[in-house]
Amino acid sequence: MICIRRARPDDAAAIGAVHVATWRTAYAGMLPDAYLSHLSPLRHAAGYEAAIADRRNGHAVFVAVASGADAPVGASAERDRGTVIGFVSGGRARRPGYGDGEVETLYLLDDYRDCGIGRRLMRAMAAHLAVVGCRSVMLWVLHDNPTRWFYQRLGGRPMAREAIRFAGQSMEQLAFAWAPIESLLTATAPASEA
- Report pLDDT for 77: 44
Backbone angles phi, psi at 18, to 5 degrees: -65, -45
- Taking the alpha carbons at both ends of the chain, their separation in whole angstroms is 23
74: confidence class by pLDDT, cuts 50, 70, 90: low
- Specify the fold of 2-134: Aminopeptidase (3.40.630)
Among 7-16, 115-124, 165-174, which stretch is predicted with the lowest mean pLDDT?
165-174
Is a pLDDT exceeding 90 seen at residue 17? yes
Mean pLDDT of all residues in 33-59: 95
Mean pLDDT of all residues in 18-23: 97
pLDDT-above-70 percentage for the chain: 95
- Report pLDDT for 69: 84
Q: Which of 119, 123, 164 is CA-nearest to residue 141?
A: 164
Mean pLDDT of all residues in 165-188: 95
Domain map (residue ranges) of the chain: 2-134
Mean pLDDT of all residues in 126-154: 95
Do the bridges between strand 60-66 and strand 2-6 make them parallel or antiparallel, or are there none, so unpaired? antiparallel
Is a pLDDT exceeding 80 seen at residue 192? no
* 0.75 exceeded by pTM: yes
Q: Which of 136, 141, 124 is CA-nearest to residue 188?
A: 124
Among 2-6, 19-23, 58-62, 74-78, which stretch is predicted with the lowest mean pLDDT?
74-78
